[in-house]
Structures are given as C-alpha cells and as structure tokens.
C-alpha cells in the first residue's frame, strides 16, 4: 500500500545510491532498449507523479498516468554496483499488468501502490491502417548476390517479420515491427527502395536497406499509396522540426 506520493525524479535518485549523476533528469542520461517506446524520456524531463513504483539500488519499475490511461516502464542504472565515467539509465516498456504484479512482490527495498486504483492498460486502442510482412536475412555477410540469386542459394536463411501501421490519437502514424516500435523514417526507406523495381532487382544483398544493424530486408508488402504519402509528409515534418532546432 502506498506510503506517500513519489515523483519519478525521487525514484531515480533512490536508484542511484552511488550518486553517480549530477542531473538524473537529463535526457542525455537515458537510453531506451531497441524497439521500445521513447515516451519515457519526455516524462523523465517533465517529472511526473507516480501511480505505483518499486525500487532497489540500481533498478526500478514505475507506473504513471499517460493521457487517459496508465503506462509502465522498468529501468536499470549501469553505474551500479560499479561506477563508470558516463552512467545511463536504460528503459524498457512493459504492460501495466506485468508491472503491478511485480511491484506487489516482496523483492523491493521500497515500493508503493494504491489499493483503490485498478491497475490495467486503459489506453485507447490505436486504429490499425495496414499490416504486412518484411522478408529479411541476417546471413548475407559480404555477399553480392542479387535477391533472386540469394533466394536460390540461401532460401533457408530467409525469415519474416510482421509490421503494422497504426493511427495514433494525435493523428500521426506509428510503425510497429513484431509489435514493437520501429522508426517510421527507416520504414519509409525500405518501402521506397522496393518501390523502385529496377534498383531493387539489381542490387546486391549488402546494398539492401537494413531492418536493423544485422538484418537486410529482401522484400516488403507495400501498403496503400495514401499511407506511403502520409509517411513521406511525416518524415518531412520531422526534418523541418530538427532543422528549426539548429
């Protein structure tokens, strides 16, 4: 049961028992696991009131309000137990139900939650606009095979990933691959590459767009042109925003 209201900044300080950070709310001290939502960094800077938390030296789970629902994250601090020259908090998203189940366990040095709150994922579902499959391989090495040659020689090393394009409540588009966040500008690069049939059919495997650092896309099911056009506009808007910041 909650002892007192905690702010996110308070929990970050409790994690950092070695006092390795002068400013635990600095966005430069926070990293998000690959494919996970970066929402947490914005809330770290704002400093939000927590609906529930559990913390030990070096790690924590937190639940807080986001718009009209709850969201949950876990983190660890890489300067515990041994300090280093550039400490960072590392974050990963989890469901509210998973988080509260763990917070209620007797594994925390300090924890708190309100028995009168129903801890469940109450955020509204986003509208699904499109879904499809990305074919990829991670066994390309320095191969200069074309896609058709690679299929013939190494077809057993070709795999599939599912992608989904969602409409957020803000109106923006979100791309997910295997149910995890994927940068929409990187996704657009893959789409546009395979729209240019001449280039994609002649390209060597090493020249294909990346799904991640070790995976090359071999094909992608194209969504409707209207969705691709909207992604293009979103990428342009992002670049203009970055340019305005200098």
Q: How far is CA 75 from CA 1, 55, 179, in A?
A: 22, 10, 20
Q: Is 116 exposed, middle or buried (0-12, 13-18, 19+ CB in 10 A)?
A: exposed
Residues 103 and 138 in one domain: no
* Residue 94 covered by a domain: yes
Examine the fold and report which residue of 81, 113, 145 is the final residue of a domain before the chain moves on. 113
Examine the fold and report which residue of 49, 79, 113 is the final residue of a domain before the chain moves on. 113
| CA pair distance 156, 173, nearest whole angstrom | 34
| Nearest in space to 141 (alpha carbons), one of 214, 194, 199, 220 | 214
| CA pair distance 99, 35, nearest whole angstrom | 19
Show the domain range for 27.
8-113
Contact predicate 60/15, CB 8 Å: yes
List, in sequence order, every residue forming a beta bridge with 173; answer none if it has no partner: 167
Residues 101 and 13 in one domain: yes
Residues 93 and 13 in one domain: yes
3-class SS of residue 152: helix
The pLDDT of residue 36: 61
* Residue 3 covered by a domain: no
Number of folded domains that form the chain: 2
* Residue 118 covered by a domain: no
Q: Where are the beta strands (DSSP E) in the chain?
A: 30-32, 50-56, 59-66, 69-77, 89-94, 110-113, 127-137, 159-167, 173-177, 180-182, 210-212, 215-220
Residues 96 and 141 in one domain: no
* Residue 24 covered by a domain: yes
* Residue 2 covered by a domain: no
**Ranges of the chain whose pLDDT falls below 70:** 1-5, 34-37, 67-68, 122-125, 142, 197-201, 246
The pLDDT of residue 39: 76
Q: How confident is the prediction for the chain on average, in pLDDT? A: 87
The pLDDT of residue 1: 45
Residues 194 and 95 in one domain: no
Residues 107 and 135 in one domain: no
């Amino acid at each position: 049961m909650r002892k007192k209201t905690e702010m996110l900044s308070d929990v970050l300080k409790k994690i950092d028992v070695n006092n390795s950070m002068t400013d635990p709310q600095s966005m430069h001290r926070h990293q998000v696991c690959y494919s996970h939502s970066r929402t947490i960094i914005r809330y770290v800077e704002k400093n939000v009131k927590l609906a529930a938390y559990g913390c030990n030296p070096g790690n924590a789970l937190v639940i807080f309000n986001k718009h009209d629902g709850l969201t949950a994250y876990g983190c660890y601090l890489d300067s515990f137990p041994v300090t280093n020259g550039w400490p960072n908090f590392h974050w990963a998203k989890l469901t509210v139900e998973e988080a509260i189940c763990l917070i209620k366990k007797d594994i925390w040095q300090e924890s708190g939650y309100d028995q009168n709150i129903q801890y469940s994922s109450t955020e509204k579902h986003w509208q699904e606009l499109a879904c499809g499959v990305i074919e990829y391989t991670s066994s390309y090495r320095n191969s200069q095979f074309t896609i058709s040659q690679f299929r013939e020689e190494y077809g057993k090393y070709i795999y599939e990933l599912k992608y989904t394009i969602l409409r957020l409540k803000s109106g923006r588009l979100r791309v997910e691959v295997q149910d995890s966040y994927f940068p929409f500008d990187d996704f657009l690069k893959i789409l546009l590459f395979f729209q240019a049939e001449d280039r994609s059919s002649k390209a060597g495997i090493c020249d294909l767009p990346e799904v991640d650092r070790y995976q090359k896309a071999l094909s992608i099911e194209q969504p409707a042109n209207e969705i691709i056009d909207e992604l293009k506009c979103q990428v342009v808007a992002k670049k203009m925003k970055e340019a305005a910041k200098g």
